[in-house]
Amino acid sequence: MTSLTAYLSEIVGRAFAACGLPAELGRTQVSDRPDLGQFQCNGALAAAKIARKPPRAVAEAVVDALRAEEAFAGIAIAGPGFVNLTLTDGFLGAHIAAMAGDARLGVPARPDPLTVILDFGGPNVAKPMHVGHLRATIIGDSLQRLYRFLGDRTISDVHLGDWGLPMGMLITEIRNRRPDLPYFDEAYAGPYPDDAPVTLEDLEELYPVAAAACRDDPARLEEARAATAALQAHRPGYWALWRHFIRVSLAALDRDFGTLGVRFDLFKGEADVNDLIPAMIAHLTAKDLARRDEGALVVPVAEADDKQEIPPLILEKSDGGVMYGTTDLATIVDRVQSFDPDLVLYVVDQRQHLHFEQVFRAARKAGLSGKARLEHIGFGTMNGLDGRPFKTRAGGVMKLQDLIGAATDQAEARLTEAGLASDYPAEERADVARMVGIAAVKFADLSNWRMSNYIFDLDRFMRFEGRTGPYLQYAAVRIKSLLRKAADQGAEPGAILPPSDIERDLMLELARLPDAVAAAEAKRAPSELADFAYGAAQAFSRFYASCHILSEADRGVQASQLALSALTLRTLVQVLDLLGIEVPERM
Ligand code: ARG
C-alpha cells in the first residue's frame, strides 16, 4: 500500500504534468500550517523558472487541474504559490481503514531488498562495557530493527575489540604475576587448561594496572608490544590465554546485551581478520597504494579538495604490529567476501570520524569495498548533570550493568509513586520495572538527534508524563486496557468510519507513519520514529479525552473508535519495537 503523501504527490504530480511541467514538482508533504490545509505542495515556486510564469500563476493552473479530484475537500493557494490541500473525511477514513487492514500499517516494503551490515556495540575485551558503548548499542540496534522492518537482509556484527596492544598488556601483566602458568612456558606442548586462569573481575582489575604501568615505564611498554606481536604471530601459549580472555568477556557481554534485548548475528572481532591482512597488504603494495614512511607502512588518503588535513592510514607499525585501521580495512574485505553488502553502517562515536574517513578512502582507492556504500553513523556524547562526559559519582566509568540496575531500581520506585502495578505478582512487577527502566534509558537516547550530546538524567527519563519511554509505554498500556474493558462489555472494534472532528487529527497523525519511517531511514535517525511515537500518543490522548468510547450509544461509532484505538496501539507497539522498547501487558 502507498502512503498518503506518496499518493498525494502522485495526484499533484499528474496535475503538474498536465500543465507541461515535471511531475516531480508535485511532491506533497504534511503541512507546516495545519490551519491552512492538511497537506502542502511547494512545487509551483520551483516551477516558476521553468514555466517562465509567476509562481502564483503556475499554482492556479495546477489547482485547476486538481479540481476534478474527488479526494479533496479543500484546495487553496497561499502566499506566493503554496498549494494547500485538505482531504475529504471519506477519503481519510478509507485510507485509515486500509492501513488498519495492512499488516505493515501502510509502510511499503522495499521492492528490491538490500543487504545491510550494521557494525555496532564495539565493546573491548577485558574492559567492562561502559556507557560509551551504550549509545552505539541502542542506536545500532534500532537501525537494525528499522532495516529489517523495511524488508532488507540485515547482518549485525558486534566487532569486538580483541586485538592490538591491550591484549599484549594483559598477557604481560599476567606473566609478571604468575610466570608459572603453562601459557608462558615455551617448551610446553599443550594441551592448555580448559578453565580460564582469570575471571572477568580479574581482567577488569588487571587491565588498568597494566595500562598504567606501560604508560610510566618504556621497558614495560616494549614488553607489551613484543607480546602483542607474538600473539598476532600465533604463539600457542599466548593464543590459548587470549582465547580465555575472549570467552570470559563474551559471557559478560552476552548477559548485558541480553538484558538490553539486543541481539547480534555475528560476534566477530578484530582478530578474526588477522589472516586476511598479509594478502591485503600485498594487494595494496602491488597497487602502489601503500608506502613506507619512517619504517611504518601507510596508505596516503588525502585528496586535493580536503578542507582539513587527512593523515595517511597506518597499516603496519615499524615493529610489524597492525593497527585499528588495518583490522577495519581487512574486515571490509571479509564482509565483502562473505556477504557482498550494499550498505555497511558503522555506528560509532563521532570522535572516531577521522578514523572511518581514512579507512573508507583506503578501501575505495584499493577497490576493496565491492558495491558497498560505507557510512560512519556518528553520535554525540552522553554527559552527566555537570555537562561533562558521564561518570559515576566516584568519578569512574559507569558499567553498563550498574546503569541498567540503577534504571530498574528507579523504575521500581516510580511505579510505587504512581501507584502502578501495585497488586501484581512479584515476578510480573519486576518484569514491568525492567521494561520501564530500559525504555527510559533507550528512549532518552533515541529521542535526541544522534549527533547531539545529551544529559543523562534518570529522574527526568523516568517520568510518566512528557517525552519519555515510560509515558509511551503507559499510553500503549492504557489502550490495551481500554480494549479489554470494551471486550468485557461485549464491544469489539469494527469498521472505521469517516472521521468527525474528534478523530480527524489522530487519523492524520497515524497516516504519517510511512513518512516517519522513510525519514528515519534517510537520516539514519531513530529520533524521527521517537518524534512520531510521541506525536501519535499525544494525538490519541486528545482524542480519548474528547470522547467516551465505553459509554458511546451509537454502536457503529463505538466500533469505529475502538478500531481506531486498536490501530493506534498497533502503531505504537510497532514503532516502540523499532526503538527496541517493549510494552508490558498491563501496568
Ligand atoms: N572497539 C572500538 C571502541 O571501543 C569500537 C569499534 C567500532 N567498530 C569498528 N568497526 N571500528 O572504540
Calpha distance 478→465 (Å, rounded) = 13
Query: Is 120's C-beta closer than 6 angstroms to any atom of ligand 1?
Result: no
Calpha distance 138→434 (Å, rounded) = 16
Quick one: 398 exposed, middle or buried, by C-beta within 10 A (0-12, 13-18, 19+)?
A: buried
Exposure string for 334-343, b = 16+ CB within 10 A, e = fewer:
bbbeebebbb
Query: Is 164's C-beta closer than 6 angstroms to any atom of ligand 1?
Result: no
- pLDDT at position 60: 96
Query: Is 339's C-beta closer than 6 angstroms to any atom of ligand 1?
Result: no
Q: Which of 120, 129, 117, 20 is nearest to 398 (CA)?
A: 129
Calpha distance 545→556 (Å, rounded) = 19
User: Which residue is associated with the grid cell 613484543?
Assistant: 226
pTM: 0.95
> How many angstroms separate the alpha carbon of residue 346 from the centre of ligand 1?
9
Contact by Cβ (8 Å): 381, 389: yes
- pLDDT at position 11: 96
Check the CA dihedral 484-487-489-495 and report its sign.
positive
Q: Whose CA is nearest to atom 2 of ligand 1?
A: 122
Phi, psi torsion values for 341, nearest 5 degrees: -70, 155
Q: Which residues is 454 bridged to in the sheet?
A: 382
- In this prediction, the residues of the chain whose per-residue pLDDT falls under 70 are none
Q: Whose CA is nearest to atom 8 of ligand 1?
A: 122
The mean of the pLDDT values for the chain is: 95
> How many angstroms separate the alpha carbon of residue 158 from the centre of ligand 1?
9
- pLDDT at position 54: 94
The per-residue DSSP string of 505-560 comes to HHHHHHTTHHHHHHHHHHHT-THHHHHHHHHHHHHHHHHHHT--GGG-S-HHHHHH
Q: Where are the beta strands (DSSP E) in 272-407?
A: 291-293, 296-299, 313-316, 343-347, 373-377, 382-383
Atom from ligand 1 closest to the CA of residue 132: 4
- pLDDT at position 369: 98
What structural domains does the chain harbor? 4-87 (3.30.1360.70), 165-259 (no CATH), 422-578 (1.10.730.10)
Query: Is 159's C-beta closer than 6 angstroms to any atom of ligand 1?
Result: yes
- pLDDT at position 131: 76
- pLDDT at position 258: 93
Quote the cell numbers at residue 62.
495546477
One-letter identity of residue 389: P
Contact by Cβ (8 Å): 46, 62: no
- pLDDT at position 394: 73
Quote the cell numbers at residue 341.
553488502
- pLDDT at position 41: 97
Q: Whose CA is nearest to atom 3 of ligand 1?
A: 122
Query: Is 119's C-beta closer than 6 angstroms to any atom of ligand 1?
Result: yes
Query: Is 161's C-beta closer than 6 angstroms to any atom of ligand 1?
Result: yes
Secondary element (H or E) of residue 76? strand 72-78
Query: Is 55's C-beta closer than 6 angstroms to any atom of ligand 1?
Result: no
Query: Is 348's C-beta closer than 6 angstroms to any atom of ligand 1?
Result: yes
Query: Is 356's C-beta closer than 6 angstroms to any atom of ligand 1?
Result: no
- Tell which one of 331, 348, 353, 375 to mutate to probe ligand 1, the residue whose CB is within 8 A of the most ligand atoms: 348
pLDDT (tens digit, 9 = 90+) per residue, 108-166? Answer: 999 999 999 999 999 999 877 777 799 999 999 999 999 999 999 999 999 999 998 99
> How many angstroms separate the alpha carbon of residue 517 from the centre of ligand 1?
27
